[in-house]
Structure formats: structure tokens, C-alpha cells
Amino acid sequence: MKHTSEKIEYPQTCIHKLVEAVVEQKPDAVAVVFEHDRLTYRQLNTRANVLAHHLQALGIRKEVLVGIYMERSLEMVVGLLGLLKVGGA
């Protein structure tokens, strides 16, 4: 692999906002693949929203620390995204 010093510009926004933007443009594009399973951006965002609402109902708010202890999986990505949506850390 060739190394390049080319600068890459990245959006200055949170990852959950970027996912939401892609849902608007390409909802059925594949967002996450793990082993033989995959989620589209729409599926990922929908599952993360469900989790975010559940976390809010449990009292998780901005800056509240929440531990996520699980094996690598689609659910782990959903968990991280849901936590970011409620502002948890």
C-alpha cells in the first residue's frame, strides 16, 4: 500500500448525525457488515433510535457514563450509536 501525504477533509460533526444524513440520501445502502449479517443505514438508524428512547426512559442523558460490554457484533454498533444519540458517554 502506497503512503500519501494527501490531506483528507472530514465533516466536523458527530457520527450519529452523519448516519442520519446518509439515511436521507441512501437508506438502503449497507452500513454495517459483521460476519454474515448486515444492516442498512435505515435499519441501523431505526434500531439505534429505539435503543436511544429506551436509554432516555432509564434516565440516561447528556454526559452520563454508560459502559458497553459485549462481543463485536451488529448490536454493539447499534448500542454505541444509540448511546451517542442520547448524548451519553
pLDDT by 10s per residue, the chain, length 89: 566 678 878 778 888 999 999 999 999 999 999 999 999 999 999 999 999 999 999 999 888 888 889 999 999 999 999 999 998 87
What does the alpha-carbon distance between residue 87 and residue 39 come to, in Å, rounded to a whole number?
Answer: 23
Q: What's the pTM? A: 0.83
For residue 2, the model assigns a pLDDT of: 62
Give a yes or no: residue 67 inside a domain: yes
* Total of domains in the chain: 1
Distances from the Cα of 14 to the Cαs of 10, 38, 41, 81, 87, in angstroms? 11, 22, 16, 10, 10
What does the alpha-carbon distance between residue 44 and residue 19 come to, in Å, rounded to a whole number?
Answer: 9
Is residue 16 within 8 A of residue 81, CB to CB? The reply is yes
Give a yes or no: residue 79 inside a domain: yes
For residue 14, the model assigns a pLDDT of: 87
Give a yes or no: residue 8 inside a domain: no
Give a yes or no: residue 27 inside a domain: yes
What does the alpha-carbon distance between residue 43 and residue 84 come to, in Å, rounded to a whole number?
Answer: 17
Question: Which residue segment(s) compose the domain that 67 sits in?
Answer: 15-86
27: domain CATH number? 3.40.50.980
